[in-house]
Amino acid sequence: MTTAPMPEFPAGFRWGVSTSAYQIEGAVTADGRGPSIWDTFAHSPGRIVDGSTGDEACDHYHRYAEDVALLAELGVSAYRFSIAWPRVQPTGEGAANPGGLDFYDRLVDELLGHGVDPVATLFHWDLPQALEDAGGWLNRDTAARFAEYADLVAARLGDRVKLWITLNEPFIHMSLGHGMGVHAPGWMLLFDAFPVAHHQLLGHGLAVSALRARSTSPIAIANNYSPVRLQGDTDADRAAGNAYDALHNRLFTDPLLGRGYPEGPGFDPAVVRDGDLDVIAAPIDVLGVNYYNPTGIRAAEEDSPLPFEIVPLEGYPRTAFDWPVVPDGLRDLLLWLRDTYGEALPPIQVTESGCAYDDVPDADGQVDDPDRIAYLDGHLRAVRAAIDEGVDVTGYFVWSLLDNWEWAEGFTKRFGLVHVDYATQRRTPKSSYGWYRDRVIKP
């Protein structure tokens, strides 16, 4: 598919792709790795739609050199991956497991050898199972454990990782993992999941100090945002929109940027101790923004347990996940962040943006994915529009390099620029890979 020439981005703009450990690595018992909550969850009957697990995933643990060659050929300047905590600390505490860190050491050197900046996420949801057995993120102690783990990683990789990302989407880990039971560890606590928000944020703040002590590289967090599209214009609809914003878009960002928690659903002051908000507001250098779609909101029915009602957005194309394709939502979000946080907002990098489609190889083995090209084209123009309106955006990472194990959806959702045939682990770049390389990164 051809698209109109992409407008130029500022010099030095960081082009990347993202992945996460449990979704691609496989090799779940290699070199002393301990079990994580996702191993436990995936192996529990009924949790994953196709009954699959991440035991093998894309076998990236053994094929990382081939995957780095794909990155180099793509021409990205950065690669965002995550480090599996249970490889570094199989039980979540104590001395580092050298075999686990060795893998990331090899990966980082392979990236640098190909001119690709390593961007490392420390926590992309794969908590060591032993920590979950002690209460997981509901237990305040997990925050301190996370900072110790960050210290071990930075001691080994702090001279070479170019950007640290402490947590991936703490909101999704709280809501889907602990509120609604859709993700590991599978708790259904609804709004009682708030301690998971606070302890993740506390862990983030403590990890920022640990990283600063070992590394001069900038530090970020990757938050998930979904701008509100009000479906109604009554005062009750607007109040519902504010409640949803407080929960999804501000619960993590307000305290990170020094404003304390927003009043609203889910907030429980009882777990917040003196001094915690100062730890959480430790300055960060970059705000990572993961965006997939906006959320339609209107006032809830009177007997609803929720202070808002989520309404499907009509009139948009949809991805294989049934998520609406709304590129303007990304521009709106970036402007909302700037208008809401003003001077407190650090430069933004879009750390995830992408879509799932049912990509099937043709008779010649080629994968043509015009819908993904249209998706990325629209979202990049939205980023460009926000930059034109004065928002400081310095990077964009496509989710994802490879088709991979999509959590509760197993292998049924393909987000990659590169198709993976899981039976053979054969990688085939899709047409979107060539488009990103030739029309965006090196036009």
Residue list for the binding site for substrate: 23, 124, 168, 292, 399, 406-407
Q: Burial-class residue 422 by CB neighbours within 10 Å (0-12, 13-18, 19+).
A: middle
> Of 168 and 349, which has the nearer Cβ to ligand PNW?
168
> Which residue among 59, 110, 169, 403 contacts ligand PNW (CB under 6 A)?
169
Question: Where would I find the H helices in 35-128?
Answer: 37-42, 60-74, 85-88, 98-113
Q: How far apart are CA 301 and CA 298, in angstroms?
A: 9
> Of 9 and 433, which has the nearer Cβ to ligand PNW?
433
Tell me if 406 contacts ligand PNW by CB under 6 A.
yes
> Of 9 and 164, which has the nearer Cβ to ligand PNW?
164
Query: Rounded to 5 degrees, what are φ and ψ at 179?
Result: -95, -45
Tell me if 172 contacts ligand PNW by CB under 6 A.
yes
Q: Which stretch binds ligand PNW (CB under 6 A): 62-70, 107-115, 167-175, 198-206?
A: 167-175
Cα distances (Å, whole numbers) of residue 429 to 58, 69, 82, 119, 277: 14, 12, 22, 22, 45
Q: Which stretch binds ligand PNW (CB under 6 A): 90-98, 164-172, 370-378, 434-442?
A: 164-172
Number of H helices, E strands in the chain: 15, 13
Query: Cα–chain-centroid distance for residue 258?
Result: 22
Tell me if 20 contacts ligand PNW by CB under 6 A.
yes
| 3-state class (DSSP) for residue 437 | helix
Contact positions with ligand PNW (CB under 6 A) in 134-163: none
The pair of three-digit structure tokens given for residue 391, joined into one six-digit string: 């928002």
The pair of three-digit structure tokens given for residue 324, joined into one six-digit string: 């609406």
Q: How far apart are CA 18 and CA 255, in angstroms?
A: 26
Active site residues: 169, 352
> Of 231 and 404, which has the nearer Cβ to ligand PNW?
404
The pair of three-digit structure tokens given for residue 296, joined into one six-digit string: 């339609």
Residues that contact ligand PNW, how many (by CB under 6 A): 12
> Of 104 and 399, which has the nearer Cβ to ligand PNW?
399
What's the DSSP call for residue 231?
Answer: S
> Which residue among 97, 129, 168, 353 contacts ligand PNW (CB under 6 A)?
168
Contact 81, 72 (CB under 8 A): no
Contact positions with ligand PNW (CB under 6 A) in 208-227: 224
Tell me if 403 contacts ligand PNW by CB under 6 A.
no
Contact positions with ligand PNW (CB under 6 A) in 353-392: none
> Of 294 and 346, which has the nearer Cβ to ligand PNW?
294
Tell me if 242 contacts ligand PNW by CB under 6 A.
no
- Residue 286 CB, nearest approach to ligand PNW (Å): 17
Q: How far apart are CA 57 and CA 28, in angstroms?
A: 10
What's the DSSP call for residue 318?
Answer: B
Tell me if 292 contacts ligand PNW by CB under 6 A.
yes
Q: Which stretch binds ligand PNW (CB under 6 A): 165-173, 261-269, 270-278, 325-333?
A: 165-173
- Residue 118 CB, nearest approach to ligand PNW (Å): 18
Q: How far apart are CA 443 and CA 434, in angstroms?
A: 11
Q: Which residues bind ligand PNW (CB under 6 A)?
A: 20, 23, 168-169, 172, 224, 290, 292, 352, 399, 406, 415
